[in-house]
Structure 1
Amino acid sequence: MSLLYPTLCLCAYGLFSNLRPSEPFLTAYLMGPDKNLTEAQVVSEIYPIWTYSYLALLFPIFLATDYLCYKPVLVLQATSFVVTYVMLAKAQGLRAMQLLEFFFGLATASEVAYFSYIYSVVEPAHYRRVTAYCRSVTLFGSAAGSLSGQLLLTVAEVRLAHLVWATLVSAAVAFFPPWFLPMPKRSLFFHKKPEGATERQCDYSSALIDKVDNKVPLDNQDVATVSLSSEETNGSCGLSEVLKMLLADFLHCYRRGPLLAWSLWWALATCGYFQVLNYAQALWENIRPSSEYDIYNGYVETLSTLLGAVAALLVGHLPVRWTVWGELALWALSLLMAACVLVMVTLESIWLCYGSYVLFRATYMLLITVATYQIASSLDMQRYALVFGVNTFVALLLQSLLTLVVVDSAGLGLDIFTQFYVYGGYFAVISGVFLFAGLCKMATRQHSDQEVLSRSPADTDST
């Protein structure tokens, strides 16, 4: 019962908080008659607020989640979702929509509590099963929301405003389950468990990799486990002790070359991935305006979500030694992602644009799952939160800089087509970086092999 009750509450919350029929049509709604905003306002002045808010709130929420023992932050997230969709349904004007994006950034940053709460109330033997339940239900909620929104729009012919109200109802239902969760008595950093108990795993990155279960290392025979620089003690820790511990573990973890390489790809690719997802609807709206044609964004989001999950699940069955060929795989698949983005913007065909978007998301999901496995396989469970959190923070920092320069009206404020050319070039640069890294790794390995062979005859003669 101690496992079933919180799991059911979390699954109910995850399902309804991710059931958002209006999400695939947000840009069309904001630019339509209900809000009557221009494309420049939506793209350059409203959407960037989410990026900046997410970045600014991520680290404070990270600490608050642990200090407050998860549940209060879950309640905060549920409240933020309700406020977001109330404002989306009722508020008018540019400033109101910018404030809405701030609350949505708060809700997104607070998602760390959802995927860390469960590890504080169940035993380690149940981690994988409970994680699978929670992530699967959030994935199902996201896909079901996109599909139901599309069906309501095309079959029932409801207005976009009605989809927003449907999303608000779902957020209102999701508001209640967190209040009934039991309050944990321990956390990862501030409120530690009694000495001698089994370490707890807290994965704060789960919300950023589309909620796919990705905790099984693929190929860890060549990867040593990083030892912790700090030890578990009884009682609570102060903020200064926690920050010192995080800094020491940060320096210790990122000294490892393989972990650093995968973390670099994580941060760079996630930055570009968020940008493409944030502004894809604006591109579709330019290619096929919703005011003139039927749009099928919901089907596309549903298909891309499900194929992304399938791609992530396939990782465990691919016969690839990622520790050997990882950099070259990152080169090839990052190049494929660059090609997808460029096809989206160059050919200006809505069907090719939709297809390239689906392939882009599936490729990212596959690679981010591999990156998560490879990083997790070289870490102690207690340091997942630190490394994944740092990677996400760097990704958001890069995304904020890219948004400020390319998207924001305070920067260049480029049109949507030029933006996607920039994003395609960005992934091409990522591909080039890892091609260079892979070639250097192969050259180093070949040189080492030649040295071993050259020493072998000498060793034979001496014997």
Structure 2
Amino acid sequence: MLRSWVGPTVLLCIYGFCSMMRPSEPFLTDYLTGPYKNLTTKQVWHINLFPVCAYSNLFLLIPVFLVTDILRYKPVIVLQALNYILAFLLFIFSSGVVLTQCALFIYSMGTAADVAYYSYIYSVVHPQYYQRVTSYARGAVLLGYTAGAMLGQLLVSLGGVSIYWLNIITLGSLCVALLAALLLPMPQRSLVLGGTQNDNGPFEEVVSSSCVSWVVWWLRKGRRTGRGKMRALKRLAVDCKECYSSVAVLFFCVWSAMGNCGYHQITGYVQLLWASKQPQYNFTEYNGGVEAVATLSGAAASIAVGHVSLDWSVWGELVLGVFTALTAGVLYLMDLTNSIWICYGCYGLFKTIYMALITICTFQIAQSLSRERYALVFGVNSFVGMALQSLLTAIVVNTKSLQLTITSQVQQREKNIYIFTFYFYPFFLPNFMVSNCLETILSHRYNSRTGLGETKVESHASSDTQPNQAAQRASNPEASRTNTAL
């Protein structure tokens, strides 16, 4: 019997709150380009700020993903806290391009370990509490980020506190997070390995549909024979094919991956845009307040979407298409306007819309899958999003073919931000979405006329008794073995 869920959940929420309570983060660009670091905008754009984070996140995701389950989560959470502390120590006390790059790389190691934070609690509480502890864990992160942004804004606006001292406060909060991580109870089982049979059991009793468990099994058992490795890869390929064979699931997965890429590109560079829009004299920055309000409004939008009574299987694609086009217009307005206040408002609207749309994608994907396949699909989506982010960064930032080098002129910086934001959304996603929306509407009308209008996408609530899955198992015994529970 697992220990009480209250203690581990409280400690994990304290860790999530304190690790995200970073008052200095909304002012990171100003800190790097200001008198503390004396880096140029070109250095921040091409060398220090975003490219290092984008590339390192991509390459660190898979090894951290594997080590997390093998080490049973807590050591990875402690390592995440240590990485954050070391990164901010370098931010505060180091100088120069190379050390700033090291700080950002170490920071990326911490962000790559987020999977441990969201997975840990499932290994120490009973499944009946999963929904509750998930909401608490995510709520703690959201509250911590909002509190940090608001605290930073108040200290800068009302107290006249420098960004240097905001970094000191952030470092103190991270030390408290490290203490909470050390107090977390060590899980007695692994989500993947804990549910497996003995090492001599058949293949279908050893592996599950989790992306991690496939590779863990490969490392532990498959390494003994080449045939075992090939079987593991074959089963992984079969499971991926089944998950993405549904057009509806594939559509929302594509949007989720590309939306995640675009969101991080925009949030990563928006501070440079704000710096180019704000008045040069007698102006107090409100980056922290904008981030706090945008985060809260995004959370409210996500909750509101969950209470909207709408047949998302029919209208979900149309909603995504319309609001993605609206997002493109908002981003375009951010580039055209010379008012920092309009720019702030557009960013808040953008973040609110994105949070609502990504929520729609998430629960639409979840409704079409069994619970055992969540890790595989969402893991693949995250990896694809990071790969696209790295590719876009390499093409737009680190190549001369597009001639997007940053100059000291404000106009050129605005042009580069504009291309990052506006190019991504309106030229690919809306076209893809509109075509799918028309296909969905026509299909819905046809089904209504022929009496098939009640046919819907499979729901995860009835995944254990679905006749379609039973038929698939009967006709495809190879695929049925991939549905082993975690």
TM bucket, shorter chain: 0.7 to 0.9
1:425 aligns with 2:457: no
**Shift of the alpha carbon at 1:425?**
2.6
Query: Which residue in 1 is equivalent to 2:378?
Result: 388
Counterpart position of 2:16: 14
Instruction: Give the direction of change, closer, same or farther, for the CA distance of 1:21–1:452 in structure 2 (3 Å limit).
Output: closer
Which structure 1 segments of 5+ residues have no match? 196-227, 454-463
2:359 aligned residue (353, 360, 369) = 369
Paired AA for residue 362 in structure 2:
T
Deviation at 1:385, TM superposition (A): 1.5
Corresponding residue for 1:441? Answer: 440
**Partners in 2 of 1:414 and 1:338 — Cα distance?**
23
User: 1:166, 1:452 → 2: CA distance?
Assistant: 63
CA contact (8 A) 1:331 1:434 kept: yes
Q: Which residue of 2 aligns with 1:400?
A: 390
Compute the displacement of 1:379 (Å).
1.6
Check whether the contact 1:341–1:420 (CA below 8 A) recurs between aligned residues.
Answer: no
| Residue in 1 that maps onto 2:74 | 71
How many residues are matched? Answer: 417
Aligned residue for 1:175, secondary structure, equals helix
The match for 1:342 is 332
Is 1:278 aligned to residue 276 of structure 2?
Answer: no
Aligned to 2:205: none
Could you say what secondary structure the match of 2:23 adopts?
Answer: coil
Q: Distance in 1 between matches of 2:309 and 2:276?
A: 41
Task: Give 2:43's aligned amino acid.
Answer: Q
| Alpha-carbon separation, structure 2, partners of 1:160 and 1:409 | 32
Amino acid corresponding to residue 217 of structure 2 in structure 1: C
- Paired with 1:411 and 1:167, the residues of 2 have a C-alpha distance of 39
Cα distance change on mapping 1:289 and 1:243 into 2, 3 Å: farther
Tell me the alpha carbon deviations over residues 355-378 of structure 1, each in whole angstroms, 9 at most, x when there is no partner: 000000000000111111111112
- Which sections of structure 2, spanning at least 5 residues, go unmatched? 199-207, 223-228, 407-412, 453-486
Is 1:110 the counterpart of 2:107? The answer is no
1:258-273, aligned counterparts within 5 Å? Answer: 258-273=248-263
Query: Partners in 2 of 1:290 and 1:189 — Cα distance?
Result: 55
8 Å CA contact 2:316–2:360 kept in 1: the answer is no
Q: Is the CA contact 2:80–2:109 (under 8 Å) kept in the aligned structure 1? A: yes
Q: Tell me, what secondary structure is at the counterpart of 1:327?
A: helix
CA distance in structure 2 between the aligned counterparts of 1:34 and 1:307, rounded to whole angstroms: 33
CA distance in structure 1 between the partners assigned to 2:240 and 2:66 by the alignment: 15
What is the distance in 2 between the residues matched to 1:84 and 1:424? Answer: 32
Aligned-partner Cα distance in 2 for 1:254–1:445: 22
Matched, 1:56 2:55: no
Q: Is the 8 A contact 1:190 1:238 kept in 2?
A: no
* Counterpart among 294, 309, 319 of residue 329 in structure 1: 319
CA deviation profile, 1:144-196 (whole Å, cap 9, x unmatched)? 0000001111111011111111111111111122222222232233342569x
Tell me, yes or no, if the aligned pair for 1:312 and 1:369 is still in contact at 8 Å.
Answer: yes
- CA distance in structure 2 between the partners assigned to 1:315 and 1:73 by the alignment: 33
Separation in 1, partners of 2:209, 2:102: 41
Aligned to 1:163: 166
Map of 2:177 onto structure 1: 174
- Give the structure 2 partner of residue 205 of structure 1: none
Distance in 1, matches of 2:405 and 2:288, equals 27
Contact 2:29 2:272 in 1 (8 A): yes
CA drift of 1:248 comes to 3.4
Tell me, yes or no, if the aligned pair for 2:122 and 2:191 is still in contact at 8 Å: no
Give the whole-Å Cα distance in 1 for the aligned partners of 2:122 and 2:451.
Answer: 47
Residue 342 of structure 2 corresponds to: 352
* CA RMSD in angstroms, aligned pairs only: 2.2
Percent of aligned pairs with the same residue? 42
**What is the DSSP-based 3-state SS (H/G/I as helix, E as strand, rest coil) of the residue aligned with 2:289?**
helix
Q: Is the 8 A contact 1:344 1:352 kept in 2?
A: yes
In 2, Cα distance between equivalents of 1:144 and 1:448: 49
Distance in structure 2 (CA, Å) of the matches to 1:41 and 1:356: 27
Q: 2:217 aligns with which of 202, 216, 237?
A: 237
Answer yes or no: is the 8 Å Cα contact 2:209–2:372 preserved in 1.
no
Q: Counterpart of 2:435 in structure 1: which amino acid?
A: F
> Out of 31, 34, 43, which is 2:33 matched to?
31
Per-residue CA distance 1:236-266 (angstroms, 9 max, x = gap): 8342477665443222211111111100110
Match of 2:192 among 161, 177, 189: 189
Inter-CA distance 229–407: structure 2 relative to 1 (3 Å threshold): closer
**8 Å contact 1:327–1:434 — kept in the other structure?**
yes
Q: Distance in 2 between matches of 1:410 and 1:344?
A: 25
> Residue 418 of structure 1: CA displacement?
2.0
Q: Which residue identity is paired with 1:144?
A: A
- The correspondence of residues 190-229 of structure 1 with structure 2, limited to 5 A, is 190-192=193-195
Q: Secondary structure at the match of 1:81?
A: helix
**Contact 1:335–1:427 (CA<8 Å) still a contact in 2?**
yes
The 2-side partners of 1:250 and 1:31 are apart by 45
CA 1:179–1:193 in 2, change beyond 3 Å: closer, same or farther? farther
Kept after mapping to 1: 8 A contact 2:258/2:385: yes
Q: Is the 8 A contact 2:13 2:140 kept in 1?
A: yes
Structure 1 residues 7 and 389 mapped into 2: Cα distance closer, same or farther (>3 Å)?
same
AA aligned opposite 2:325: L
Contact 2:19–2:81, Cα closer than 8 Å, also in 1: yes
Name the aligned partner's letter for residue 434 of structure 1.
Answer: M
Q: Hey, what's the Cα distance between the residues in 1 that align with 2:194 and 2:235?
A: 14
Instruction: Choose which of 140, 143, 147 in structure 1 pairs with 2:143.
Output: 140
Letter of the 1:258 counterpart: A
The answer on 1:288 being equivalent to 2:278 is yes
Distance 1:76 1:405, change over 3 A: same
Distance (whole Å) between structure 2 residues aligned to residue 410 and residue 166 of structure 1? 40
Contact conserved, 1:191 with 1:237, CA < 8 A, in 2? no
**SS of aligned partner of 1:2:** coil
- Could you tell me how far apart the structure 2 residues matched to 1:10 and 1:243 are? 35
Contact conserved, 1:338 with 1:424, CA < 8 A, in 2? yes
CA deviations 1:320-375 (Å, max 9, x no partner) are 21100111111101001111111111112111100000000000000111111111
From 108, 120, 123, give the equivalent of 1:120: 123
Deviation at 1:451, TM superposition (A): 6.5
